[in-house]
Amino acid sequence: MDIKEQIKQFIIVELAGQPGLALGNDDDLLLSGLVDSLGVVRLIGFLEEQTGVNIPPGEITIENFGTVNAMAAYLGAKVVSG
Amino acid sequence: MIYLLPQAVDQSADKYPDHEAMRFNGQGITYAELARRTDKLARLLSVQGVRKGDRVGIYLNKSLESAVAIYGIMKAGAAYVPLDPLAPISRLKLVIEDCGIRHIVSHPPKAKSIQELISECPGLECVVGLALTETSVRSVTWEAVNSLPSGSAPALNLMEHDLAYIMYTSGSTGKPKGMMHTHYSGLSYAKMAADVYGVTHQDRLSNHSPLHFDMSTFDYFSGPLCGATTIIIPEAYTKLPASLSKLVQDERMTIWYSVPFALIQMLLNGVMAERDWSALRWVLFGGEPFTPKHLRALMQRLPQTRFSNVYGPAEVNQCTFYHVPPQPEDKDEQVPIGRVWANSEGLVVDENDQPVQPGEVGELLVRTPTMMRGYWGRPDLTERGFYRRKTLGYLEDIFYRTGDLVQELPDGELLFLGRKDRQVKIRGYRVELDEVETALSRHPQVDENATYALPLADGNAVIEAVVILKPGAAVTAMELKGHLATHLPPYAVPEKILLMSDFPRTTSGKIDRRALKEQALVALDGAGG
């Protein structure tokens, strides 16, 4: 499963508890209520575990975490730059 | 003379026409523009059938339109009713039908939910803010409202004791209850808060709270009363502390007001060392206790900023404050909620409404001009919520029963100790645990259930539920969470649901919630929480 699918599965199953929910790669996750403040913390933990990337607090911003696509781009750049 | 809330906007439009009243996502609206747009919305609502005393829903994500909606509705003589944009449709339906909302002010991002609301609520007649098709419900877009010719709001014979807004909160029976506030109670609060915190037109206030949360009234009422600028913080920022702390810096906010949770998040994860908050002169926090060690750390980081603990159930807006002095390193007690503020009276009473001795624990009763009139359509709850003291032979002083247990310290400050009932606070939001249990019991496969709140090390609390299923039932805990998500606001859905075969019981056979909570706390400790 690619990272975008993994993120979506985590959000709809683990955070929202609504496995059948449709979620778009460009949906505004933080406006929707699917991900609240504690959800962000859990999501970061999940991403760090899955990718081995360290995500410092200063980079947990709207630009990097507003949508599934933004997260995938951010993580992709982190992996490339090591 | 100002005696109605919208007069605050019109007065500031006269004094500071080109000054920004509200800002959102880098865009602003001046006082002159806010006055014009609210006049137009009021006229439009009037043409669409809104009459004095009506209730009009606001169903908006945070936006500049929030301010236009609040003041436009009040200028039309109606009370605004904030509808939580994140609440499930079934819950909004309860609110809409409870207070007979026929008109809603919204915007295009809520189009899908509006369609669902329309099919669930046959009483809806008109939606302002987006275009609807294939329905008999009338609709008017914001473009159409804004392109109306300029002109004043409808002339109405409004008085200060007329309704201004109704805010709904968790009710223990499973049905939300609506607190009816008037222009008098709202404006009394706005004036008092402006006075206590010395708000001026040069201030830049944070609006962190959503509209359906009573803390928003400081940002939306006291701001315009003083001609200040209120920065409406987009929802996304409230979840990302590093972005939020940058917004405080970039918008040069001078007064911050939120639940402690938001501040703790910024303290711990908001890269504060990289931020310049030198414009910030006052931090107000309330809604729940602030973990002492985090409060101390934040105060040490912001030595030029004053800190105040703000207390008051939404029924009275606010009624006490405590200006927090520097906190010594070795002190880990809660800071007090302070004293009952000016033009108000507080009583600390026992079970029989008799004043307790100074220093003894009792319930706080408050008499204040910032108090609501009652709960919409609920004379029973209203009567229970008030304490009436005979005065002048045959008249009454009316106090609100806060349900909060307090203790007067030797220096006269009040200390908050907890609740008389089963209400808990989750990130500042009031949740009646009985309401969560009622919602769980509505699931056809649930036999018995119990809920309790667990305190976390970071000062937050989470709700947990335990459930006994009916024989042969096969529903999972996750499915039960999904069921609750369709009936309760997100903050009221338990973090964890545990399926059990039996509960600890008291000798009379009742569920022993205390024992359940203790078991859960042991489990939490074991998990390193």
Which residues of chain A lie closer than 8 angstroms to B483, CB-CB? none
Residue B294 predicted with pLDDT over 80: yes
Q: Give the CATH class of B341-419.
A: mainly beta
CB contact under 8 A, A17 and B269: no
d(C-alpha B1, C-alpha A48), whole Å:
59
CATH topology of domain B6-232: Rossmann fold (3.40.50)
CB contact under 8 A, A61 and B238: no
Query: Mind listing the pLDDT tens digit for each residue in A53-71?
Result: 999 999 999 999 999 999 9
> For chains A and B, what is the number of CB pairs under 8 angstroms?
60
Label the pairing between strands B229-232 and B204-207. Answer: parallel
How much is the pLDDT for B527? Answer: 64
Among A28, A30, A55, the strongest candidate for a mutation testing the B interface, having the largest count of B CBs within 10 A, is: A30
User: What confidence tier does A79 reach under pLDDT thresholds 50, 70, 90?
Assistant: confident
Question: Rounded to 5 degrees, what are φ and ψ at B427?
Answer: 50, 40
CB contact under 8 A, A36 and B239: yes
Q: How many CA atoms lie within 13 A of B430 on its CB side?
A: 27
CATH placement of domain A3-15+25-81: 1.10.1200.10
Q: Of A10-14, A56-60, B272-276, which gets the smallest average pLDDT?
A: A10-14
CB proximity A70 to B under 8 Å: no
How much is the pLDDT for B427? Answer: 87
User: What confidence tier does B525 reach under pLDDT thresholds 50, 70, 90?
Assistant: confident
How much is the pLDDT for B456? Answer: 82
Distance spanning both ends of chain A, measured CA to CA: 22
Min distance A28 CA to chain B CA atoms (Å): 9
Q: Average pLDDT in the B374-381 region? A: 97
User: What confidence tier does B142 reach under pLDDT thresholds 50, 70, 90?
Assistant: very high
Min distance B461 CA to chain A CA atoms (Å): 11
CB proximity A23 to B under 8 Å: no
CB contact under 8 A, B242 and A59: yes
Mean residue pLDDT of chain B comes to 95
Higher pLDDT, A35 or B322: B322
∠ CA B52-B57-B58, rounded to 5°: 120
User: Six-digit token pair at B446?
Assistant: 């649930």
CB contact under 8 A, B240 and A60: yes
Where along chain B do its domains lie? 6-232, 341-419, 424-526
DSSP state string for B156-186: ----TTSEEEEEEE--TTSS-EEEEEEHHHH
Where along chain A do its domains lie? 3-15+25-81
Q: Average pLDDT in the B413-427 region? A: 93
CATH architecture of B424-526: 2-Layer Sandwich (3.30)
Question: Rounded to 5 degrees, what are φ and ψ at B53?
Answer: 90, -10
Residue B59 predicted with pLDDT over 50: yes
CB contact under 8 A, A37 and B238: yes
Which residues of chain B lie closer than 8 angstroms to A67, CB-CB? none
Residue B528 predicted with pLDDT over 70: no
Residue B226 predicted with pLDDT over 90: yes
Query: Mind listing the pLDDT tens digit for each residue in B458-501?
Result: 777 899 999 999 999 999 998 999 899 999 998 999 989 999 99
Residue B139 predicted with pLDDT over 90: yes
ipTM: 0.92
User: What confidence tier does B529 reach under pLDDT thresholds 50, 70, 90?
Assistant: very low
Which residues of chain A lie closer than 8 angstroms to B495, CB-CB? 38
d(C-alpha B34, C-alpha B43), whole Å:
14
Q: Which of the 8 DSSP states describes residue B63?
A: S
Question: Rounded to 5 degrees, what are φ and ψ at A48?
Answer: -65, -40
CB proximity B427 to A under 8 Å: yes
